[in-house]
A and B are shown apart, each in its own frame.
Chain A
């Protein structure tokens, strides 16, 4: 191990941070314009972009807790996970546009619609504006508490207090249960209820699995940035990237598995309350996006990640990771946009049959810049605050010794 135990972040991190803030500001200005011209599209686009970066933050927190419980070689990435998860307070603030735009996004927030719809009336005890906000508040309080407590104990560990090791494990055990349950309900609240009649019991797994994949891809990107600079250049080994690559491959396969299972079962049963979800996504131009996702969210990353070299060489793996983040965004577009028509109006807002068609709005580019810029600024701010290596991690020796791998 090196004698330098400060593991201070590289000098040019500040430049990236400033850059992220500029991008975020430009995106915000664009979004403000967009809000003026097309508020419906603004809320929809914001929701998509928001869920992508929330996914990175929450997925990182999930991976961090898994790492605390399982140990293993990826302990070297702990500080990246921790910094990601400490962006959650910012994400709570960025949730505000969704709360404001609730009536634009969610049909069940219109009492007159609920009254005339037996299904929505049945669901009203759950799907109503007040309870929606109470739940969101509960999720964010829970998530930030877990993230900040994990981070605080992690700092105590740096300072030499080894009694936190076992506490980190206990909290992670409970935290994973809490995260999985709340993420499931969040997926119902924020995504599934865009089409309030539709339901799929697998949806929570899809949501959590997507977050894990986004978090892994982002961790690969940041680690590739770090491995080119001191102090991490001597600490991140090909085997560490290999592990991240293997996990990404597993999550890519899980994504395909969950989606195919959901599709096959709904296609086979062909039930009135389920099938509209897929009809909306395999007709009117959306089918091309569906095929795009099958190819670029599954076939291509799957084939690339099978190669051992592609996983072990950061300069190759980072391109796969960047592509994965892009298709993660497109996957979220697919989850959200087909429920809205080209004018940005939710198709289920009015009674009767409505059909949307494929569209993309320029806000779909502006919103990820705004949310992503601000999020990345927060991330870099948090990353710079701690040593880049959790040098007193109880599994660290094992983690740094690792050389092998299949």
Chain B
């Protein structure tokens, strides 16, 4: 079996028809080869045509976002399709969708670190970057859906303003401000802490003056001192421990936005864990969506191996099953509650005007994910790419269903109405995808997409030879 020697976490499944588990790094790599391969992507002078095309697409969409913001500020909030009763529409759907995507990054970097899952090493860096960019995209929506973001400062943040007003802390919306901004800050600290030793590597290997200076400043003068590593490892572990409950709390607070209310379809105690599972599920789908092309185009198959693909698929299966459990749970309890409004909510979801979206969602998140049970599916990278894209769609539909079907027909039939997004709604959504893509392309061009120093720790050379030591 092709396991890197002396690496205890590689599979040792012997006998039976259990397959050997693929290694977390292909054999034959050294400190130098790992550093060169990952650092080289950043330090090369040549910018690939594929990168330019990808960035151009992202940037064009980003410009669409700017145009939408201009339109929004110039004309007013009416450019969006939000109406009464569907006051929460596309902006909140997209907000929750993006925040959810952000969850995989912190999960990979924190929880898998605590559980000593070495396979996290080669995907944590870009997953964390993905978290930051996704949260940035998410933050656009609550800010802009106010229509007058320059006023949002005193609505959102507690600061002694000239009107003597304070935010309403008995509302989950303000909890969201704290949760999301804490999440962004802590993720940024975690990400940057991880980057520092790699910045030192790039500083020492950069050929250009600008590279030496910029990476040099970002490296903070890191010199690999054992005294520094000693505290660094402790800080990294502590940040992981801190981030673990944080990542659970963020989507929990997002779910409180809905569940604290008394709206049928929103007020359910299962919302917190069910939202968290959905967030992790969609986050891993996005990691797969990004990792599969990344390893292909940059030839990183040695580092992002089938082991990673398999494990991420399994996490998607587990979290997807929890989400499916949530759907089943909602159906049962909408009947068990013996509450007329709960019952109608479910009936309306299944047979009402938006039923096609509900059933698409069930088809993807409850039925399609059963494919992940099969080995042959977990081995088929091309198919997994398609499936992970579909999961992204499915999770978007979930938020659409939760938000729109619950609001458009609530307690009073006289106030029922339909919701129709406008072209600006779609433009804004596409625009944030552009923001995400632009940031992500810049990231893979200028920063190491895999954590170089952590990759070094899993090559065979890093293992101390016991007979000589101690």
Query: Do A and B come into direct contact in the complex, CB within 8 Å?
Result: yes
Q: Interface of A with B (CB < 8 Å)?
A: 71, 118-119, 122-123, 126, 162-166, 169, 173, 177, 180-181, 184, 188, 197, 199-205, 246, 253, 257-258, 261-262, 264-266, 268-269, 271, 273, 392, 394-395, 397-398, 401-402, 404-406
Contact residue among B15, B114, B270 (Cβ-Cβ distance under 8 Å from A202)? B270
Residue in A122, A181, A184 whose Cβ sees the most chain B Cβ within 10 Å: A122
B12 touching A397, Cβ below 8 Å: yes
A213 CB to nearest chain B CB (Å): 15
- Interchain CB contact under 8 A, B12 and A395: yes
Which segment, of B256-264, B296-304, B358-366, faces chain A? B256-264
Residues of B within 8 A of A199 (CB): 333, 336-337
State which of B17, B116, B268 has its C-beta within 8 Å of the C-beta of A404: B116
Question: What are the residues of chain A within 8 A of B259 when measuring CB–CB?
Answer: 265
Residue of A nearest to B13 (CB): A394
> B412 near A: Cβ within 8 Å?
no
Q: Which of B18, B114, B252, B262 contacts A269 (CB 8 A)?
A: B262
Of A169, A394, A397, A401, chain B has the most CB atoms within 10 Å of the CB of A394
Known: A164-B16, A165-B13. A268 touches B260 (CB 8 A): yes
CB contacts (< 8 Å) of B245 on chain A: these are: 253
A-B contact pairs, 16 of them (CB 8 A): A163-B17, A165-B13, A166-B17, A184-B329, A188-B336, A200-B269, A201-B268, A201-B270, A201-B330, A261-B269, A261-B272, A265-B256, A269-B260, A271-B267, A398-B12, A406-B237
**Distance of A126 from chain B, by nearest CB (Å):** 7
| Contact status A123-B271, CB under 8 Å | no
Given contacts A257-B248, A394-B12, A398-B9, contact A166 B260 (CB under 8 A): no
CB distance from A398 to the nearest CB of B (A): 6
| A residues less than 8 Å from B272 (CB atoms) | 202, 257-258, 261
Identify which of A188, A201, A204, A264 contacts B256 (C-beta below 8 A). A264
Tell me which residues across on chain A come within 8 A of B114, comparing CB atoms.
Answer: 246, 406
How many residues of B sit at the interface, in one of the four size bands?
35 or more
Given A261-B269, A398-B9, A398-B12, the answer on whether A201 and B329 have CB atoms closer than 8 Å is: yes
Known contacts being A173-B373, A201-B268, A265-B259, is A163 close to B16, with CB within 8 Å? yes
Q: Which residues of B contact A257 (CB under 8 A)?
A: 248, 252, 272-273
B102-144 residues at the A interface, CB under 8 angstroms: 114-116
Contacts of A264 in B (CB 8 A): 256, 260
> What residue in chain A is nearest B337 (Cβ atoms)?
A199
Question: Interface SS of chain A: helix, strand, loop or mixed?
Answer: helix
Q: Could you tell me the distance between the alpha carbons of A200 and B116 in the complex, rounded to whole angstroms?
A: 35
User: A123 vs B339: C-alpha distance in the bound complex, in angstroms?
Assistant: 11
Judging by beta carbons under 8 Å apart, are A166 and B16 in contact? yes
Q: Is the CB of A266 within 8 A of B269?
A: yes
| Bound-state Cα–Cα, A162 to B115, Å | 28
Is B407's CB within 8 Å of the partner chain A?
no
Contact present for B14 and A205 (CB under 8 Å): no
Given contacts A184-B329, A257-B248, A269-B260, contact A405 B116 (CB under 8 A): yes
Does A162 contact B16, Cβ atoms closer than 8 Å? Answer: yes
Top-4 shortest CB links A-B: A162-B15, A201-B270, A202-B269, A162-B16
- B329 CB contacts on chain A under 8 angstroms: 184, 201, 204
- CB 8 Å contact bits of B4-30 with A (1 = contact, 0 = none): 000011011111111000000000000
- Within the assembled complex, what's the spacing in Å between the Cα atoms of A205 and B272? 11
Determine the distance from Cα of A347 to Cα of B321 in the docked complex, in whole angstroms: 37
Could you tell me the distance between the alpha carbons of A257 and B248 in the complex, rounded to whole angstroms?
Answer: 9
From residue B42, how far is it (CB to closest CB) to chain A in Å? 30
Is the CB–CB distance between A265 and B15 below 8 Å? Answer: no
User: Smallest Cβ distance from A177 to chain B, in angstroms?
Assistant: 7
User: Does A394 contact B269, Cβ atoms closer than 8 Å?
Assistant: no
**CB interface residues, B 205-250, toward A, < 8 Å:** 237, 245, 248
Known: A202-B270, A253-B245, A257-B272. A123 touches B12 (CB 8 A): no
Interface centre among B9, B13, B256 (most CB of A within 10 A): B13
In the complex, the chain A residue whose C-beta lies closest to that of B234 is A406
- B390 shortest CB reach to chain A, Å: 21
Chain A residues with CB under 8 A of B256: 264-265
A401-B8 contact, Cβ under 8 Å, with A164-B16, A165-B18, A394-B15 = yes
